[in-house]
Chain A
Amino acid sequence: MRLLLLLPFIGLLWVPFYNRELPALFGFPFFYWYQFAWVPLTALIIWIVYKDGVKKGVQ
């Protein structure tokens, strides 16, 4: 489960993957809305790992 926490690192530190302007969304070039999208996504991933930890009784 904790391996999920690697996803934001891969998604954001591999820059060539998102360094472009298209497709744009609501006037935002891809470079920008892609990074913004990772904020709630990262929060969600941490929440999933957190809930999993609670279930397993992590102190």
Chain B
Amino acid sequence: MPTPSSINWTALGVFVFFFALVTVLGFWASRWQRGTANKGAHLDEWGLGGRNFGTWITWFLIGGDAYTAYTVIAVPALVYAVGAYGFFALPYTIVVYPIVFLIMPKLWQAAHKAGHVTAADVVYGRYQSRKLELAIAITGVMATMPYIALQLIGMEVVIKALGVTGELPLLAAFVILGLYTYSAGLRAPALIAFVKDLMIYVVVLVAVVVLPMKLGGYGAVFQSARDAFAAKGGATGLTLQPQQFLPFATLALGSAMAAFMYPHTMTGIFAAKSADTIRKNAVFLPAYTVLLGLIALLGYMAYAAGIKVSSNNDVVPALFNAMFPSWFSGFAFAAIAIGALVPAAVMSIGAANLFTRNFWKPYVNPGVTPQGEAKVAKLVSLAVKFGALVFILFLPTKFALDLQLLGGMWMLQTFPALVFGLFVGWFGANALLSGWAAGIIGGSWLVYADGIKPVHTFHIGADSYSLYTGLSALVLNIVVAVLVQLLFERGGAQVPAFKRSQIERG
């Protein structure tokens, strides 16, 4: 049981203040950015914020949504544990933007023209295959559930650092989140993202200036990390060991290709006002990558500050508690906790949109009106969050982490179905579905056989190559898709042009 003296009251006070502030914003958000063409109870309003977000709102929303609370906790934790290898997050979040720039405006156009709400809608619109649509939708929901659970872990870590124990605070935070997401939809996280992102920027900029000043400069920070890794040994260090080159590069590339396939990032894209909004964001979103790189460095600063933790995830909260006055720690922890709310809200909306559009509408109630869709999606968003909460409260944390790892690999397998059709018309639905199945099964099997590790080592003759399993599975996926298309679907494109134009209008 906690003793009252273990609670940091100043930090808790600051924390509660900011949490209350965003709660008010969350409920008020339903009246924000209504626009002149408001469709009332239409799913476009609740699920995509009216499809009317301009460059600034999109920048805050996607930034707040893609760089999650879990990132702020887990990236420095990995860097603290292994050093340079944990920095794959940096090339990952750099090369993701050329990919966004090339692909996402086209995907947005396809969605906008036909009124699609989800990635699976786009796939159905193009290929007219319910099976492929369902495959994409299930992948999205399955990958998103553990991701929401991880946001809860991020929140749990900072609540614990405030000296508060028990599961009640987490429960309360999630009930509040559930209610304002239910009432305001995507507008709530979009508005809260402004507060969250500004708070995180302040916290990180202060930390990366003040901490090195206290710790003797960046040279000293890197030196203490260097010494710590030298003592630790193994595959750690300030630079990579040769056997880590391929895993580092393939993890970066594979993660970048999967990042915008997720329902929560896709929702941010579809909510944008125009294709140009997305292109501009590809130019300006890298600002968040600088932030992420600086956050990663906190892992090294922990060595310079002499922080010792039993669980690596505690490294950032422990560093803040040790180095800053209570009020600033409270502010930082509030930033991280609010940082969990934004992605958790968008993820639950993205998953709810998928369920409604790609399961409820085709299989349960084909005649559902857009208003009816909104009603179903709102209820499902509550159910999704409740599921994630049960997950965290009753199952081991490792389970969520393992599923999240598998989820990234699964998401990557939707890349061909979603993206290839935007550039080439050659692949048909059956080929893409076969490739998807091969990638999911093959990849899951490899990950499972390796004991839930993201990297698999292939032995070819005397050489061995270690690659991110998601990327290996994607290669299998594409090879199978090409073979099926060549062998069984002669004649190339399965969707005649006239039909496609009808679909796009419809």
Contacts and interface: CB of A to CB of B under 8 A. Distances in A.
Contacts of A35: 87, 90-91, 94, 293
A25 to B, nearest CB: 10
Interface string B275-296: 1000110111011011001000
A27 B286 contact: no
Contact of A20 (B239, B286, B297): B239
B253 A13 contact: yes
Binding site of B, secondary structure by majority: helix, strand, loop or mixed?
Answer: helix
B98 interface: yes
B94 A39 contact: yes
A45 B289 CA distance: 15
A5 to B, nearest CB: 4
Interface in B403-449: none
A12 B94 contact: yes
A42 B289 CA distance: 11
Interface in A8-35: 8-9, 12-16, 19-21, 24, 26-29, 31-32, 35
B249 interface: yes
B484 interface: no
Contacts of A21: 238-239
B283 A8 contact: no
Nearest to B221: A27
Interface residues of B, number: 39
Q: How extensive is the interface on chain A, given as a class?
A: 20 to 34
A42 B286 contact: yes
B217 interface: yes
Contact of A46 (B97, B217, B239): B97
A35 B94 CA distance: 9
Contacts, number: 101
B87 A9 contact: no
B381 to A, nearest CB: 33
A22 to B, nearest CB: 10
A46 B101 CA distance: 7
A53 B297 CA distance: 36
A36 B293 contact: yes
Interface string B154-166: 0000000000000
Contacts of A29: 222, 238-239
Given A31-B238, A35-B87, A8 B94 contact: yes
B20 interface: no
B218 interface: yes
A39 B430 CA distance: 39
Interface string B290-306: 10010001000000000
Contacts of A9: 95, 98, 253
Interface string A40-58: 1011011101100100000
B101 A39 contact: no
Interface in B229-253: 238-240, 242, 245, 248-249, 252-253
A19 B297 CA distance: 17
B312 to A, nearest CB: 20
A34 B222 CA distance: 15
A28 B218 contact: yes
Interface string B243-274: 00100110011000000000000000000000
B219 interface: yes
Contact of A42 (B98, B109, B249): B98
A35 B109 CA distance: 33
A12 B239 contact: no
B390 interface: no
Nearest to B99: A5
Contact of B283 (A19, A36, A43): A43
Given A24-B219, A59-B109, 4 more contacts: A5-B98, A27-B212, A35-B90, A43-B287
Interface of A: 2, 5-6, 8-9, 12-16, 19-21, 24, 26-29, 31-32, 35-36, 38-40, 42-43, 45-47, 49-50, 53, 59
20 contacts: A8-B95, A8-B98, A14-B249, A19-B240, A19-B245, A21-B239, A24-B219, A27-B222, A29-B222, A31-B87, A35-B87, A36-B290, A36-B293, A39-B90, A39-B289, A40-B286, A42-B98, A42-B286, A43-B283, A43-B287
Interface pairs A-B: 4 shortest CB-CB: A27-B218, A27-B219, A12-B91, A5-B98
